[in-house]
Amino acid sequence: MAKNTTIFTLLQNFISQEELDGILAEFQFEDTARKCNVATLLDYLVGAATFEWKSMRHAADVAPAHGLKSVDYSTLSKRLGELNYLIVKRIFELIVGRLNRAARRSLKLKKELLAIDSTTITVGKTRLPWALYHGNRSGIKLHVSFTNETGMPLQIVETTGLKHDGPIGVQLEDKRFILVADRAYFSIDKVDRYAKTQQDFVIRLKENIQLNRKKSLQRAAVEGSNIVADFTCTLGTAQKQTEKRHRIVEFTDYEGAIVRVVTNLRDVSAEEIAGMYKERWAIESFFRWIKQNLNVPVLFGTTKNAVFSQLFAALIAYVLLKFLHSRIQLKSDVDSLSFAGFTRLFLWHALPVKWRTYVEEILSSARMIYQKSVT
C-alpha cells in the first residue's frame, strides 16, 4: 500500500469536492477560509479520531507529519466553533448511506435486524453548560440505529443527555428492518402502532408490564432450548391496555435470568426471536469500540457545533474503516484480521500484502461503488 493511502485519501475517495460544495451550498455556508477550509478541518477531525490526538494543539503539532496542511491550533479551534455541525452530520449521512447500500448489496441481504439504542458521553458540568445532565456532570447523547449485518450505523440523532430514548427512537424506525430494542423503547401505544403499520419488532418488556389473557402457542420441543414460555396476550392495565394481542417470548440469558420480549413476528421460532434480541450486543460493542478507539470522550470544544462536529467526524472515520474491513474480510484468500487489528495496521501502513492489494482495488473503484449505490 502506498504511503499516501491514508485515512485522509480514504475520505477523499468516498466524497468528492463537488459533493462537499453541494452540501455547503445546501446550508448556505460560504467557505472563504484559505488556510483552513471545511475539507481541511474535516481532515483534522478525522485524524484526531483515528490517531487519538489529545487536543487541537496536539493536532496542529502532529498533523503535518501525516501529510495534512499546517494550521495553527487557534485557527482550528475558531473554525471548529464556527462550522455548523449539521454540515458534518450531512457528510456522515451521505457517506454512511452510500456504504450501507453497497455493503447490503454485496451481502445480498433480505430483511435484517436494526438495533436501536443510545450512548451518553459525560464531562464536567462547566464544560458543556448547554447540556446539563446529572449532578455535576454535563452530557450529550447519540441515539443510533445500527445494522448488525453490515456492522455500521444507519441513522443517528444527537441530543443532550437528559432526552429520553423512547420518543427519540421514533425517528429511527425503518420498516425495511426488524427493529430490536431494549425496554426503554417499549410503550403500549408503540407496539399497537407497529402491528398496524407492519413494522416488525422485537422489544424487551419492562418488568412491571401486566400480561392479560395469556394463550400459549404450540411449539415443537427443542433440545437444549432456553425458551421458558411462548404465548400471546394483551399488555397493560384496564386503564391503559393494548388493543391487539401480541406475542411474548420468555427465555433465560447466559446468567440464568429470565428475559421477556414482545414481538409481532409469528412465522419464526421462539428460539429465533431470542437469538434476535441477543444480537443487540453488536450495538453495545459498537458504542464501546468508538469510545475506546476514536477519541470520543475527549471533547476539543465546548459549543454544540464543536462537540457534534467532532463526534460526527469520528463516526465518518469509523464507517470508512468498517466498510473496508468488512469488504476485504469476505475474500477467501486473506488471513483473518479483527477490526481493531485492521485499523491499527491500516493507520500505520503495515497491512499484509493481500490486504493492501484489496484496499487499493476498493479505493480505485470507490467512485463506481458509490455511483451504483445511489441508483
Please say which residue of 250, 271, 292 terminates a domain: 271
Segments forming the whole domain that contains residue 339: 7-90+301-373
**Could you tell me if 187 and 267 lie in one domain?**
yes
Q: Is the residue at 318 inside a domain? A: yes
**Could you tell me if 317 and 239 lie in one domain?**
no
pLDDT (0 to 100) of residue 252: 93
Q: Is the residue at 99 inside a domain? A: no
Rounded CA separation 223/187 (Å) = 34
**Could you tell me if 305 and 254 lie in one domain?**
no
Number of neighbouring beta carbons within 10 Å of residue 326:
19
pLDDT (0 to 100) of residue 101: 78
Q: Is the residue at 165 inside a domain? A: no
State the pTM of this model.
0.90
Q: Is the residue at 50 inside a domain? A: yes
Cell triple for residue 49?
A: 479520531
Q: Is the residue at 33 inside a domain? A: yes
pLDDT (0 to 100) of residue 373: 46
Q: Is the residue at 156 inside a domain? A: no
Q: Which residues pair with 113 in a beta bridge?
A: 178
**Could you tell me if 306 and 267 lie in one domain?**
no
Q: Is the residue at 141 inside a domain? A: no
Please say which residue of 227, 253, 271 terminates a domain: 271
Per DSSP bridges, beta strands 211-216 and 137-147 are unpaired
Nearest CA-CA partner of 174 in 205, 151, 153, 160: 153
Q: How far, in Å, are 5, 11, 119, 167, 207 from residue 235 at the CA level? A: 56, 48, 28, 20, 12
**Could you tell me if 82 and 18 lie in one domain?**
yes
pLDDT (0 to 100) of residue 374: 47
**How many structural domains compose the chain?**
2
Q: Is the residue at 216 inside a domain? A: yes
Nearest CA-CA partner of 230 in 248, 244, 256, 212: 248
Task: Provide the residue-wise pLDDT of the chain in tens; the chain has 375 residues.
Answer: 344 468 998 888 888 889 999 999 999 998 888 889 999 999 999 999 999 999 999 999 999 999 999 999 999 999 999 999 999 999 999 999 888 877 766 655 557 899 999 999 999 888 899 999 988 899 999 999 999 888 899 999 999 999 999 999 999 999 999 999 999 999 999 999 999 999 999 999 998 999 999 999 988 778 888 999 999 999 999 899 999 999 999 999 888 899 999 999 998 999 999 999 999 999 999 999 999 999 888 889 899 999 999 999 999 999 999 999 998 988 889 999 999 999 999 998 899 999 999 988 888 776 555 545 444
Cell triple for residue 268?
A: 419464526
**Could you tell me if 19 and 81 lie in one domain?**
yes
